[in-house]
Amino acid sequence: MAIERTLSIVKPDGVANGYIGKIIARFEEEGLNIRALRKVQLTVSQAQGFYAEHAARPFFGELVEFMTSGPVVLMVLEGENAVSANREIMGATDPLQADEGTLRRLYAESKGRNTVHGSDSPTSAAREIDYFFSQAFDLV
């Protein structure tokens, strides 16, 4: 089993609906260690840069608008197979397809307003963690 890091975001709907604590508690219960954590209001250019791989998708504008509509919580999670573990805890992108008990099944409204983001691979995780956090100062 590999110890990995992954980026998690509690999206604006999760923050506005008061689920930060429940989401963090779930990660800790599942054995993921919170190595860094910050609450921020993303700018349009920060959100565009973060989601650059989706720039050509028809929902890109909607995605950026939503991700800048209110504060988000950024976290670095660490643990055994953290990338896939976090994806299992989140459930499918579309809450209607997400398994019972997953964060998106429990808390999300739609594919767009889906409460949490998680890196989709170790390569994406490295890029996404570097995008928001400094290895030297933020990871404890």
Residues in the site for ligand CMP, rule: CB under 6 A? 54, 59, 62-63, 93, 111-112, 114, 117
Task: Tell me how many helices (H) and strands (E) the chain has.
Answer: 7, 4
Residue 47 C-beta: closest distance to ligand CMP, Å: 10
**Annotated active-site residue in 82, 85, 117, 119:** 117
- DSSP annotation of 53 reads G
Residue 76 C-beta: closest distance to ligand CMP, Å: 16
The nearer residue to ligand CMP, 98 or 136, going by C-beta atoms, is 98
The nearer residue to ligand CMP, 23 or 140, going by C-beta atoms, is 23
Beta strands in the chain (DSSP E): 3-10, 33-40, 72-80, 116-118
Residue 3 C-beta: closest distance to ligand CMP, Å: 23
Q: Is 54 among the residues known to form the active site?
A: no
Residues 6+ apart with CB under 8 A from 63: 47, 51, 54, 57, 112
The nearer residue to ligand CMP, 37 or 92, going by C-beta atoms, is 92
Q: Which residue has the tokens 């573990």?
A: 85
For residue 5, give Cα distances in angstroms to 22, 49, 91, 128.
20, 20, 18, 10
> Annotated catalytic sites, by residue?
117
